[in-house]
Structure 1
Amino acid sequence: MSIYQHFRPEEREFIDQVINWKEYVEQNYAPKLTDFLDPREQQILSTVIGKHPDVKWELFGGAPGVERKRTLLFPEYLNAKEEDFQVRLFGIDYAKKFVNIEHRQVLGSLMSLGLKRGKFGDILIDGDNVQFFAAEEIADYIRGQLESIGRASIGLSELPLENAVGIAEEWNEMTTTVSSMRLDTVMSALFNISRQKSQQIIQHGQVKVNWTGIENTAFECGEGDVISARGYGRAKIITIEGKTKKDKYRVIAGRKK
Structure 2
Amino acid sequence: MKNRDSIIRYYKSGDNGALAARLIDLADSAVKGRPYTVSEFVTPGAVQIGETINAHVSSLFLRTDGGYKGAERVKLCFVRDDYDGPVPTDITACRITWDARYRLLGHRDVLGALMSLGIDRSRFGDIIMHEDGAVILTDTALFPYLQQHLEKIAMVSVTVSEVPLTSIPPRQEKVKEIKTTVASLRLDAVVSSGFGISRTKAAEAIKGERVRVNWQPAKGPAQEVGAGAVISLRGKGRMELVEITGTSRKGRTGILLKRYM
* TM > 0.5 fold call: yes
1:57 equivalent among 59, 62, 87: 62
Q: How far 1:212 moved relative to its partner?
A: 6.2
Q: For 1:206-231, what per-residue CA distance to the aligned partner results, in whole angstroms no more than 9, with x for missing partners?
A: 5454556769544554533231342x
Q: How far 1:240 moved relative to its partner?
A: 4.8
Q: How far 1:121 moved relative to its partner?
A: 0.8
- 2:155 maps to a residue whose letter is R
Which SS does the other structure have where 2:100 is aligned? coil
TM-score under structure 1 normalisation? 0.83
Q: Tell me which residue corresponds to 2:166.
A: 162
Which SS does the other structure have where 2:242 is aligned? strand
Count how many residue pairs are aligned between Structure 1 and Structure 2. 255
1:61-210 matches, within 5 Å, as 61-79=66-84, 81=86, 84-203=88-207, 206-210=210-214
Q: How far 1:63 moved relative to its partner?
A: 0.8
C-alpha spacing 1:52/1:245, structure 2 compared with 1 (3 Å) = farther
Residues 58 and 80, structure 1, Cα contact 8 Å, conserved in 2? no
Residues 35 and 119, structure 1, Cα contact 8 Å, conserved in 2? yes
C-alpha spacing 1:24/1:240, structure 2 compared with 1 (3 Å) = farther
Q: Distance in 2 between matches of 1:171 and 1:186?
A: 17
Structure 1: give runs of 5+ residues left out of the alignment: none
Q: How far 1:103 moved relative to its partner?
A: 0.8
1:38 aligns with 2:43: yes
Residues 99 and 152, structure 1, Cα contact 8 Å, conserved in 2? no
Residues 98 and 133, structure 2, Cα contact 8 Å, conserved in 1? no
Q: How far 1:72 moved relative to its partner?
A: 1.3
- 1:79 maps to a residue whose letter is D
Q: Distance in 2 between matches of 1:8 and 1:178?
A: 31
C-alpha spacing 1:50/1:245, structure 2 compared with 1 (3 Å) = farther
Q: Distance in 2 between matches of 1:62 and 1:131?
A: 11
Q: How far 1:149 moved relative to its partner?
A: 1.0
Q: Tell me which residue corresponds to 2:30.
A: 25
Q: How large is the Cα RMSD of the aligned pairs?
A: 3.0
Structure 2: give runs of 5+ residues left out of the alignment: none
Q: How far 1:177 moved relative to its partner?
A: 3.3
Q: How far 1:17 moved relative to its partner?
A: 2.4
